[in-house]
Structure 1
Amino acid sequence: MAIDQDTLERARAAWRFRGQERPDFAQTPAEGQESVWEYPRPPIYVPDARLIEVYAGDALLVRTHHSIRALETGSPPAFYLPPDALNQRMLTPSKRRSVCEWKGEAEYFHVQTGTGVIQDALWRYPQAFDAAASIAGWYACYPSRLDCFVAGEPVRPQAGGFYGGWITQDVVGPFKGEPGTGHW
């Protein structure tokens, strides 16, 4: 998939909010919480040492204390997980591809379980753009398709089906992905 620079620049320019100030409709974070409206755009990538666990049904896919949170305006964090933390035998490549104007071209993976296949449950940026180099080759997953936990807390999936943000009690929104939130 070719990435045209003019298309990238138009996509980058289309975003209305960029984290410089919290909009009036944003929730005010309580002590120990973060507002996703204070995250920047383009996103930043922050190491996280909390225990991350991901299950495909009853099968453990990931357990690690080493992740990177992608923090982008209006979106709950997407957690990127190191390849050596995943049970790679459970993954099969998908034909699906997408492009993020900030990260590059993503490739997707299905998860094989004892009872079937979970389609396009994970993705990664094998050759991420320079600004996203810290997540190149690391995997992110959809909590709407897999059971994800941060320090034992069950993750709620971001709405909309496209974004893979992880909603936990330490982040407040509202979150992009709901109807009417395009290019927030």
Structure 2
Amino acid sequence: MRRPTPDPTAPGQESVWDYPRPPRVERIASHVVIRLGGEAVVDTDDVVRVLETSHPPVYYLPIAAFTEGALADAAGSSFCEFKGSARYFDVRGGGVTAPRAAWYYPSPSPGFEELTGRVAVYARPMDVCEVDGEAVTPQPGEFYGGWITSAVAGPFKGTPGSFGW
């Protein structure tokens, strides 16, 4: 499949088509809040993101920053060719449980050690995920966990026909 034409970027925006493959891990100065069931399940300034060609950033937050009981082990696993074997969490807040709505790498592959002790959350099942006060849009598709903000331009992997990007 042909690479799509990147969308134009506005001042201050990044194009996901300038992100690398294999992905890059970077610490950023941002504030992330996630709410579920009307409650904040995490509110942190300790933020790492993973950038990969055609994907909006995936935000990884310290497991220890989540409120007590917000993360519960869930069944199943998956494998990323870059980051290694992932495990899943159910996310709980305000009496609501979002099954398998978060994932982490217990022993990330070399080059991704900074993800140790961190968790990423799918935005779609949450009430809201915010980066610096801006509500994010979930990456298209059911598998991908990127967060779209006004700071990134696409097109984004996950839309129909994008499997081969």
TM-score (norm 2): 0.94
- In structure 2, how many angstroms separate the alpha carbons of the residues matched to 1:24 and 1:155? 23
- In structure 1, how many angstroms separate the alpha carbons of the residues matched to 2:92 and 2:45? 24
Q: How many residues align?
A: 164
**Is the Cα–Cα contact under 8 Å of residues 127 and 137 in structure 1 kept in the other structure?**
no
Is 1:153 aligned to residue 153 of structure 2?
Answer: no
**Residue 84 of structure 1: CA displacement?**
1.9
Moved over 2 A (4+): 112-116
State the partner residue of 2:156.
175
State the partner residue of 1:132.
112
State the partner residue of 1:55.
35
SS at match of 1:75: coil
Q: Which of residues 143, 146, 153 in structure 2 aligns to 1:165?
A: 146
**Residue 80 of structure 1: CA displacement?**
0.3
SS at match of 2:103: strand
Deviations 1:128-176 (A, max 9, x none): 0011111122100001111200010000000101010000000000000
- Tell me which protein shows more helix as a share of its residues: 1
- In structure 2, how many angstroms separate the alpha carbons of the residues matched to 1:45 and 1:72? 9
Of the two, which has the highest radius of gyration? 1
Q: What's the C-alpha RMSD, in Å, of the aligned pairs?
A: 1.5
The higher-RCO structure (CA 8 Å, 6+ apart) is 2
User: Unaligned regions of 5+ residues in structure 1, if any?
Assistant: 1-15, 18-22
Return closer, same or farther for 1:73/1:101 CA change in 2, 3 Å cut-off: same
**Residue 24 of structure 1: CA displacement?**
5.7
**Residue 115 of structure 1: CA displacement?**
3.1
Counterpart code for 1:106: A
TM-score (norm 1): 0.85
- In structure 2, how many angstroms separate the alpha carbons of the residues matched to 1:179 and 1:35? 20
**Is the Cα–Cα contact under 8 Å of residues 61 and 87 in structure 1 kept in the other structure?**
yes
**Is the Cα–Cα contact under 8 Å of residues 36 and 96 in structure 2 kept in the other structure?**
no
State the partner residue of 1:10.
none
**Is the Cα–Cα contact under 8 Å of residues 37 and 96 in structure 2 kept in the other structure?**
no
Identity fraction in percent: 41
